[in-house]
């Protein structure tokens, strides 16, 4: 935001904020019942994204289970398979953690927008 303001541009012209406005406009066009259903689905997504850390934390135990066979295969006769295996494992681990937190953040973002719209509608009725 600081860079945008320093360049003399308005914050509401930033792509990120335009995206938020588009999402708000979409959700405002839906009825409250549908919004509530979407909110429930987002709660499921938010809580369900915890599966990735479980898989990430359980994978080393699986590798430990087969450690003798794995080490025999990876370190056999000076092969460099261990380096490739390690690189692929670390990349997969990093990608899954990044995806986990990104999906969780998006779900929280949508849940907040939906809750705000539903609260606005309740206050308008009162």
Task: Give the pLDDT of residue 53.
Answer: 67
Q: How many helices (H) and strands (E) does the chain have?
A: 6, 0
13-27 average pLDDT score: 87
- Higher confidence at residue 33 or residue 10? 33
Whole-angstrom Cα Rg for the chain: 23
How do residues 30-71 score in pLDDT, each as one tens digit? 999 999 999 999 998 888 766 666 676 777 766 766 677 777
User: Residue 28 in contact with residue 117, Cβ under 8 Å?
Assistant: yes
Buried b (16+ CB within 10 A) or exposed e, 92-121: eeeebeeebeeebeebeebbebbeebeeee
This prediction's pTM: 0.69
Give the percent of the chain with pLDDT over 70. 75
Task: Give the pLDDT of residue 88.
Answer: 83
């Amino acid at each position: 935001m600081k860079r945008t303001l320093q360049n003399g541009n308005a914050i509401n012209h930033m792509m990120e904020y335009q995206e938020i406005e588009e999402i708000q406009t979409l959700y405002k066009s839906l009825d409250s019942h549908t919004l509530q259903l979407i909110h429930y689905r987002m709660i499921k997504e938010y809580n369900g994204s915890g599966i990735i850390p479980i898989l990430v934390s359980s994978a080393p135990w699986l590798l430990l289970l087969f450690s003798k066979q794995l080490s025999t295969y990876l370190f056999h006769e000076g092969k460099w398979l261990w380096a490739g295996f390690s690189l692929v494992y670390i990349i997969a681990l990093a990608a899954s953690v990044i995806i986990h937190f990104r999906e969780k953040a998006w779900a929280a973002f949508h849940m907040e927008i939906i809750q705000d719209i539903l609260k606005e509608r309740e206050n308008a009725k009162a």
